[in-house]
Amino acid sequence: MDTPKRRTLQTLAGLGALAVLPRAWAQVKAVDLRDTPVSRSYDLSVAETTLNVTGKPAQGITINGTMPGPVLRFREGDEVVIRVTNKLREITGIHWHGLLVPNDQDGVPGVTYPGILPGETFTYRFKLRQSGTYWYHSHAALQEAAGYFAPLIVEPAKPDPFQYDRDYVVVISDWIDTPPQQVLANLKKVDGYYNYRRVTTPQFFAQLRSAPDAKARDALWAERMEWAKMRMDPTDYSDGGDEWSFLLQGKRPGENWTGLFKPGERVRLRFVNASPMNLYDVRIPGLPMTVVQADGQNVNPVEVDEFRIGNGETYDVIVQPKEAKAYTIFVPTIARIGYARGTLAPEVGMSAPVPELGPKPVRTMADMGMAGMDMGGGGMAGMDMGKPAATAPGAAGHAGMAMPAPARPADAMAGMPGMAGMAAKPADPHAGMAGMGGMAAMGAAPPKPEPDVDGLRRLKYAHLRALTRNADDRAPEKEVLVRLTGDMARYFWGINDKKLSQAEPLEMGLGQRVRIKFVNETMMEHPMHLHGVFMELVNGNGVYAPRKHTIIVPPAQTVELDATFEDEGMWAFHCHLFYHAATGMMRLVKVA
């Protein structure tokens, strides 16, 4: 029997009901976006194409023959028309990520409309209510993971509050020749299928043999057992592995995408994370970056050396290279399994040194909210692992294990977490940014980034402050708890211990002020994306809370946000690691 929920599962979950088609490839030139004409109408064609990213042919899905697809460029206030022709052999649909559009234009097959059938052309038509850097991608099956995505720029009706001389879009993505459908099957078939960084059993026993004393051996054994109970691995930073290529503007590191500048010019870089699989840390050695927009929304300018960008997020930065030399745009994955790379230079063909990736990160029990637990002697003796901790009622984690930390928001003013282990793993800039009730009421200025132990100033969510006051300053009328749950060993993910097919929609009223509380009970970061509305991140900035469409929720952390829907309908709400969404970390939100 055909039902909306069944169609939703088929088109969004990608669990085998629909075939995942081949993918596509094209070179993307370094183009100053100011030379790109603004248009109100576009014709897009989605088709299968043979590509060569890694040195051998593979299949891909392209938009107008390219991957990434073409930049769409509009102006705030425009009534736009976008005609999309489906040349695939399955249903497709384009979602306008971050754009506030009527529900029937949001582009989620089986949820907001039936989707675009093979051979059909669908016309999207909506008025642009905002400006900034956004992107668009498929929301059917696992098509996005095949390269079906592209950037979208909306020029403001009034000039931006910052100046720049050049303007480049920088799309970050990842690629594997294996079709996404098979990647998902592999992940579900073998625990950590692509995780070559994990400690094997022989390696573990070698560690035990080399331990200096019995207490150290007991500690190693106890920690190994606790990770096993949680069905996690301390190296589970990414679902991907060495087979992946990491692309910047569609180019591999050796192809060296280059953006040109003249010394002294201010260059605007519009970063978009279009990866289905990886989060990244972005820096340009020798060039400080001034963050001016987050998810298309203006923020108080903040100068940093590095920022983390989650799947679906966008950040606009201004840099001003004053010397006539090359600068590397260095974009390693947070798992340090590889990197994307480009160059800013006064001439094509120039390059700068590429930094070392550094050691691959390893999580600790402290990262999972287990700080202070005795891991030696009798192991976990005396700790009741069968019930939730008093600080987190109902927050049961993997395999029934209590997760004490998630329900307590950390101090957003604290230093970077895990400083003691800084040499072993990249810092998490988004851990510990909630729980600033007193400062939120005052709307105090955000803290300025301070250098970490390695000298880099890293952006944290606590540093983001909206440039203009938010329209809705009411206190929340309703709270919605969103527990992020899952099992890495069996590779299924959920919200509140349920996957999409098992859950009823969350309900929010039109115009109702809602507090959404994310509690991450898993070992991985989850970039959560809510369609149809901007979420105002509770980060201590009160009515100047930054407005975001995608928010990273770190492991063992609580992140809170407020939202007020202005458009009714059924909206998608999911992790933007699309393989997580495909296996259940997704909900529908009914706004009426």
Instruction: Tell how far CA 126 is from the center of its chain.
Output: 26
Domain-embedded: residue 418: no
User: Stretch 167-190: mean pLDDT, rounded?
Assistant: 93
| Average model confidence (pLDDT) across the chain | 82
Q: Is the pTM of this model over 0.85?
A: no
Given a cut of 50, whether residue 529 has pLDDT beyond it is yes
Check which CATH number belongs to the domain holding 581 and give it. 2.60.40.420
Confidence band of 324 (pLDDT split at 50, 70, 90): very high
Give me the sheet containing 492-495, strands edge to edge.
492-495, 478-487, 513-520, 558-564, 535-537, 547-548
**407 vs 135, which has greater pLDDT?**
135
Domain-embedded: residue 21: no
User: Stretch 235-255: mean pLDDT, rounded?
Assistant: 85
Select from 160, 195, 223 the last residue of a domain: 160
Query: What range does the domain containing 72 cover?
Result: 33-160
Domain-embedded: residue 79: yes
Select from 140, 160, 180 the last residue of a domain: 160
User: Stretch 73-96: mean pLDDT, rounded?
Assistant: 97
**301 Cβ partners below 8 Å, 6+ apart?**
162, 290, 291, 292, 318
Domain-embedded: residue 448: no
User: Stretch 554-559: mean pLDDT, rounded?
Assistant: 93
Given a cut of 60, whether residue 375 has pLDDT beyond it is no
| Percentage of the chain modeled with pLDDT above 90 | 64
- The DSSP letter of residue 361 is P
Select from 113, 140, 160 the last residue of a domain: 160
Instruction: Give pLDDT, residue 27.
Output: 33
Domain-embedded: residue 514: yes
- Residue 508, beta-bridge partner list: 591
User: Stretch 416-443: mean pLDDT, rounded?
Assistant: 46
User: Stretch 341-349: mean pLDDT, rounded?
Assistant: 97
pLDDT in tens, 187-227: 888 666 555 565 555 665 576 677 788 877 676 666 666 65
Q: Give CA–CA dist 7/480, Å, rounded.
A: 26
Instruction: Give pLDDT, residue 365.
Output: 58
pLDDT in tens, 99-132: 999 999 999 999 999 999 999 999 999 999 999 9
Domain-embedded: residue 411: no
Given a cut of 80, whether residue 367 has pLDDT beyond it is no
- Sign of the dihedral defined by the CA atoms of residues 128, 129, 133, 136, in that order: negative
Given a cut of 50, whether residue 381 has pLDDT beyond it is no
| Percentage of the chain modeled with pLDDT above 70 | 73
Confidence band of 507 (pLDDT split at 50, 70, 90): very high
Domain-embedded: residue 386: no
Domain-embedded: residue 458: no
**415 Cβ partners below 8 Å, 6+ apart?**
450, 452
- Report how many domains make up the chain: 2
Q: Return left, alpha or beta for 540; rule: phi > 0 is left, psi -120 to 50 is alpha, else beta.
A: left
Assess contact for 488 and 232: CB atoms under 8 A: yes
Instruction: Give pLDDT, residue 235.
Output: 57
Token pair for residue 155? 């020029």
**416 Cβ partners below 8 Å, 6+ apart?**
422, 427, 428, 429, 452, 458, 460
**421 vs 569, which has greater pLDDT?**
569
User: Stretch 310-324: mean pLDDT, rounded?
Assistant: 98
Given a cut of 70, whether residue 62 has pLDDT beyond it is yes
